[in-house]
């Protein structure tokens, strides 16, 4: 399990390098102060020098706090 802070740290340190990210099939549903975003991301890059590529289906949950949308959860599944 990785946090957003893990990703930002690793991108800043050059450990995680994204060379291409393409989004598809994005949908957003809003339920009051909660929003659910679903989509597909096609990522290419490297992690600790090991290349990766492929599509993931993901869901992100946002909560509106003090007038701003804040990401609070994300789940992703690798697609074949």
Domain extent listing, the chain = 4-78
Beta strands in the chain (DSSP E): 16-31, 34-47, 50-65, 68-78
Residue 19 neighbours by CB under 8 Å, 6+ apart: 44, 45, 46
Task: Tell me the pTM.
Answer: 0.79
In angstroms, rounded to a whole number, what is the distance separating the alpha carbons of residues 56 and 37? Answer: 14
Confidence check: pLDDT of 8 > 90: no
Q: What pLDDT is attached to residue 65? A: 97
Give the model's confidence band at 5: pLDDT under 50 very low, under 70 low, under 90 confident, else very high.
confident
Model pLDDT for residues 13-58, shown as the tens digit of each residue: 999 999 999 999 999 999 999 999 999 999 999 999 999 999 999 9
Confidence check: pLDDT of 1 > 80: no
Question: Which CATH code fits 4-78?
Answer: 3.10.450.50
């Amino acid at each position: 399990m990785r946090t957003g802070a893990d990703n930002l740290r690793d991108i800043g340190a050059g450990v995680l390098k994204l060379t291409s990210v393409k989004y598809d099939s994005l949908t957003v549903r809003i339920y009051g102060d909660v929003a659910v975003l679903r989509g597909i991301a096609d990522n290419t890059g490297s992690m600790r020098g090991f290349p990766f590529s492929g599509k993931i289906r993901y869901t992100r949950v946002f909560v509106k706090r003090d007038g701003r949308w804040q990401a609070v959860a994300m789940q992703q599944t690798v697609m074949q």
